[in-house]
């Protein structure tokens, strides 16, 4: 995020500015700057993902592993001006990769045309929006991704409400719902940061 003192763009995981050592994010001890502290939120995400992984099935920890790898690669994949979008991009990349893997497996195992179409949208839509966001730094893909994750989250909640606690479906959908909530949170945190920074999003 951008340093308020010298204007230097810093990585989301930094507590202090690399150029002038000024404290980042939490310096203005407002409620909003605490809520949008992505550095602390990434640590919380890792902790909750591990706890939830133990409930949802160890193989779903693959989402955390893919998140960590993608997030770690942020400096090579993203322009410094979009680095504050790194957590939400890494989460959505993780969702896409894991969904894509399950999609391929379900095609191989049971040929359901409806599910295939549904899952294809779940993969293609975020991929298009993420590339759009990285390329243009525009508000439109941010809004579209937010709406998309909200719709997906609503369908998960409807599914979860109909399932028994600790059933296989319940475990999987609770995990997916958590990652989509995280995607929405980091999307909002990054967007509100870019609004307060000089590097504003173009329209
Ligand atoms: Zn600075």
Say if residues 20 and 3 touch (Cβ distance below 8 Å): yes
Query: Does residue 194 belong to any structural domain of this protein?
Result: yes
Asked whether residue 74 is domain-assigned, the answer is: yes
Distance 75 CA to ligand 1 centre (A): 19
| pLDDT for 119 beyond 80 | no
Residue 123: pLDDT band (50, 70, 90) is confident
The Å distance, Cα 167 to ligand 1 centre, comes to 50
- Provide DSSP, 61-90: GHHHHHHHHHHHTHHHHS-GGGGGGHHHHH
Residue 16 CA to ligand 1 centre (angstroms) = 8
Residue range 19-35, pLDDT digits in tens = 999 888 654 557 777 78
Tell me the average pLDDT across 113-129: 80
Backbone angles phi, psi at 9, to 5 degrees: -80, 120
29 in any annotated domain: no
Lowest mean pLDDT among 5-9, 47-51, 117-121, 174-178: 117-121
CA of 1 to the centre of ligand 1 (A): 10
Which pTM value belongs to this model?
A: 0.86
Number of structural domains (the chain) is 1
The answer to whether residue 27 is domain-embedded is no
Quote the domain boundaries for residue 111: 37-198
pLDDT at 107: 72
Q: pLDDT (tens digit, 9 = 90+) per residue, 51-60? A: 999 998 888 8
Tell me, in angstroms, the distance from the centre of ligand 1 to residue 23's CA: 8
- For residue 181, the model assigns a pLDDT of 96
The whole-chain average pLDDT of the chain stands at: 84
Residue 148, token pair as written in the block? 């998309």
Q: Distance from the CA of 93 to the center of ligand 1, in angstroms?
A: 30
Please give the distance, rounded to the nearest whole angstrom, from the Cα atom of residue 27 to the centre of ligand 1. 12
Higher pLDDT, 200 or 46: 46
SS3 87: helix
Please name the residues in contact with 159: beta carbons below 8 A apart, sequence gap of 6 or more. Answer: 169, 173
Q: CB of 60 within 8 A of CB of 172?
A: yes
Tokens (6 digits) for 66: 């893919």
Residue 82 within a domain:
yes
Judge whether 112 lies within some domain.
yes
What is the rounded distance in angstroms from the CA atom of residue 129 to the CA atom of residue 90?
13
Q: Residue 24 is encoded by which pair of tokens?
A: 């980042």
Comparing CA positions, the residue from 201, 189, 164, 192 lying closest to residue 42 is: 189
């Amino acid at each position: 995020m951008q340093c308020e003192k010298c204007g230097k763009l810093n990585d989301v995981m930094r507590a202090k500015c690399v150029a002038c050592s000024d404290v980042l994010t939490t310096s203005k001890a407002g409620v909003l700057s605490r809520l949008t502290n992505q550095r602390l939120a990434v640590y919380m995400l890792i902790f909750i993902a591990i706890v939830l992984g133990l409930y949802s099935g160890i193989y779903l920890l693959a989402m955390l592993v893919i998140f960590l790898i993608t997030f770690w690669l942020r400096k090579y994949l993203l322009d410094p001006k979009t680095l504050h979008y790194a957590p939400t991009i890494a989460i959505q990349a993780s969702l896409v990769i894991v969904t894509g893997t399950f999609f391929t497996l379900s095609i191989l195992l049971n040929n359901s045309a409806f599910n295939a179409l549904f899952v294809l949208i779940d993969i293609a839509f975020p991929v298009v929006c993420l590339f759009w966001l990285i390329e243009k730094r525009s508000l439109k893909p941010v809004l579209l991704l937010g709406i998309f994750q909200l719709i997906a989250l609503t369908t998960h909640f409807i599914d979860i409400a109909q399932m028994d606690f600790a059933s296989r479906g319940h475990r999987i959908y609770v995990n997916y719902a958590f990652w989509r909530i995280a995607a929405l949170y980091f999307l909002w945190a990054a967007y509100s940061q870019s609004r307060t920074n000089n590097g504003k999003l173009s329209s």
